Amino acid sequence: MSVLPTIIQGGMGAGVSSWRLARAVSQLGQLGVVSGTALDLILARRLQDGDPGGHMRRGLDRFPNREMADRIWQTYYVPGGKPQRAPYKLLPTHSKNSPIELQELCVVANFVEVTLAREGHNNAVGINYLEKVQLPHLPSIYGAMLAGVGYVLMGAGVPLRIPGVLDRFANHEPATYLLQVTGADEGGDRTMVFAPKAFVVRDLPSLTRPTFIAIVSSNTLATTMLRKSDGKVDGLVIEGYTAGGHNAPPRGKLQLDERGEAIYGERDAVDLTKIRELGMPFWLAGGYGSHEKLTEALAAGAAGVQVGTAFAFCEESGLSQNHKRTLLAKVLAGTARVFTDPFASPTSFPFKVARLEGSLSEDEIYSSRPRVCDLGYLREAYRTPSGTIDYRCSAEPVTTYVSKGGRVEDTFGKKCLCNALMANIGHPQVRNGKYTEHPLITSGNELTEISRFLPVGSSTYTASDVVAKLMSGRYSRPLGSFSCDISHR
């Protein structure tokens, strides 16, 4: 029997819920979660920035295959960091059969992030992936498991085949994953394969299967996850549409209000009675970052809450310090605004955006950006007329997208999240020594409330301030009394 966390610090990509944040939260006895999105790219850019503090080197030194870790170091490490106006090296983009060096980078980068998050304590650490970003799944998950990740949390899609992958990797067995390919028929070969033993040959540690938590936003999806998964689903996060990051689209036809935001209605509400009847632990997310909302969630039968926005702006988060400071100042001035953009994300899910001068939330900054797609995490796989698989992104140059069979109307308002999210965490690409990629900060609607975490007289707050505020006061039942037969470290 193991005690479940009351607070899950939500996975925040890319790099916002970094190893530092997850470690801080897990050290406090709650569940710290690193984002598993684009960790290969993040490791490569941290190394090109000179690995300040030597943390990546420390993580690499723990990897079971020394030669593989050294290859990565030699390829990307720049002593003292690259010159500010120099571009970062481009990685090969992911594909159904990604080059071996990219798969290695994924395994190692996920290993390093989880290893660092687990340093200095014995509590569980989780990793979060977006189901829609499928191409790096297998090597990423294996790398995180090699580092002893305790929880895998996944949403933004229907991750029915992830539990089976965890089962197989726990025994270092090969696993497969079916790639979603637009326009492909059932028979086509869409299977991605990853065989652990081909990668890490020596000293394979024995692994424990991580606890798997699916992030869902409807009763239907919750039930589907439990009935149709190919392995055990251990819990659910029920996420509402005020949450930061991507949101599930509203049910039915998309309707916009006068501000241009998607309208959600009664059909989007989740019936918690039915969730309780599923008989498994669940956490509520989306506007649950306060003591009152935590108490409400516990009273509704939840094991606790998943909180993102409050942690995104604390000192340990991976967001650039200047973005945190500027947005906190806006919160204090009462001028912070969050917009649910129905079009920005190439995934076609609504994406929450904090209004910030100098970022892609502003029209003139967006329209001055030349469309370039050179990172490719959000590309959609599609079947070409000749029957092969190719990739396209609705934020890439319009003519390229249309030449690949994409519809021109799908490109309107699309923003390159891949490059923006790297800029958010201080690794913006620089083009021709002149153009520097701009950020685009995502946040939940609760952004306007985060000043409540500031200690008196302070202009910043820590993960510990968030946890202390949420856990303060009395509960209707003792904390930590929730337990179940799932195992985690």
Ligand X SMILES: Cc1cc2nc3c(=O)[nH]c(=O)nc-3n(C[C@H](O)[C@H](O)[C@H](O)COP(=O)(O)O)c2cc1C
Residue 277 CB, shortest distance to ligand X, in Å, is: 23
Contact region with ligand X (CB under 6 A), list: 83-91, 191-199, 442-450, 458-466: 442-450
Q: How many residues bind ligand X (CB under 6 A)?
A: 30
**Among 7, 442, 463, 488, which residue sits at the site for ligand X (rule: CB under 6 A)?**
442
Residue 155 CB, shortest distance to ligand X, in Å, is: 4
If binding is defined by CB under 6 A, does position 103 make contact with ligand X?
Answer: no
Please give the residues from 21 up to 50 whose contact with ligand X meets the rule CB under 6 A.
35, 37
Contact region with ligand X (CB under 6 A), list: 92-100, 137-145, 409-417, 441-449: 441-449
If binding is defined by CB under 6 A, does position 421 make contact with ligand X?
Answer: no
Among residues 245 and 428, whose Cβ is nearest to ligand X? 245
If binding is defined by CB under 6 A, does position 159 make contact with ligand X?
Answer: no
Contact region with ligand X (CB under 6 A), list: 143-151, 264-272, 282-290, 472-480: 282-290
**Taking a C-beta distance cutoff of 8 angstroms, is the pair 244, 12 a contact?**
yes
Residue 128 CB, shortest distance to ligand X, in Å, is: 5
Contact region with ligand X (CB under 6 A), list: 164-172, 183-191, 304-312, 462-470: 304-312
Q: What are the Cα distances from residue 230, in Å, to 164, 183, 347?
A: 5, 25, 25
If binding is defined by CB under 6 A, does position 13 make contact with ligand X?
Answer: yes
Residue 226 CB, shortest distance to ligand X, in Å, is: 19
Residue 122 CB, shortest distance to ligand X, in Å, is: 24
| 137-138-143-148 Cα dihedral, nearest 10 degrees | 90
Residue 135 CB, shortest distance to ligand X, in Å, is: 16
| Amino acid (one-letter) located at 192 | M
| Amino acid (one-letter) located at 256 | L
If binding is defined by CB under 6 A, does position 18 make contact with ligand X?
Answer: no
Among residues 117 and 389, whose Cβ is nearest to ligand X? 117
**Among 39, 125, 130, 149, which residue sits at the site for ligand X (rule: CB under 6 A)?**
130
State how far the Cα of 12 lies from the Cα of 128, in Å rounded to an integer.
Answer: 8
Residue 9 CB, shortest distance to ligand X, in Å, is: 8
Distance of CA 258 to the CA centre of its chain: 30
Residue 308 CB, shortest distance to ligand X, in Å, is: 2
Residue 250 CB, shortest distance to ligand X, in Å, is: 17
Stated as kind and residue range, the H or E segment containing 60 is helix 55-61
For 407, list phi and psi in degrees, rounded to 5. -90, 135
C-alpha angle 368-352-281 in degrees, rounded to nearest 5: 150
State how far the Cα of 241 lies from the Cα of 446, in Å rounded to an integer.
Answer: 11
Residue 11 CB, shortest distance to ligand X, in Å, is: 5
If binding is defined by CB under 6 A, does position 446 make contact with ligand X?
Answer: yes
Which residues, in sequence order, are CB contacts of 116 under 8 Å at separation 6+? 19, 20, 23, 55, 58, 59
Exposed / middle / buried, residue 157 (Cβ in 10 Å: 0-12, 13-18, 19+): buried
Structure tokens at 126: 């989780």
Q: Which residue is nearest to ligand X (CB)?
A: 308
Q: First vs last Cα of the chain: how many Å apart?
A: 11
Other beta carbons less than 10 A from residue 168's beta carbon: 18
**Among 243, 280, 389, 486, which residue sits at the site for ligand X (rule: CB under 6 A)?**
243
Which residues, in sequence order, are CB contacts of 189 under 8 Å at separation 6+? none
**Among 26, 211, 217, 242, which residue sits at the site for ligand X (rule: CB under 6 A)?**
242
State how far the Cα of 453 lies from the Cα of 459, in Å rounded to an integer.
Answer: 10
3-state secondary structure of 54: helix
**Taking a C-beta distance cutoff of 8 angstroms, is the pair 166, 209 a contact?**
yes
Please give the residues from 311 up to 340 whose contact with ligand X meets the rule CB under 6 A.
312
Ramachandran assignment for 275, one of left (phi > 0), alpha (psi -120 to 50 degrees), beta (any other):
alpha
Residues that bind ligand X (CB under 6 A): 10-13, 16, 35, 37, 128, 130, 155-156, 215, 239, 242-245, 285-287, 289, 306-309, 312, 442-444, 446
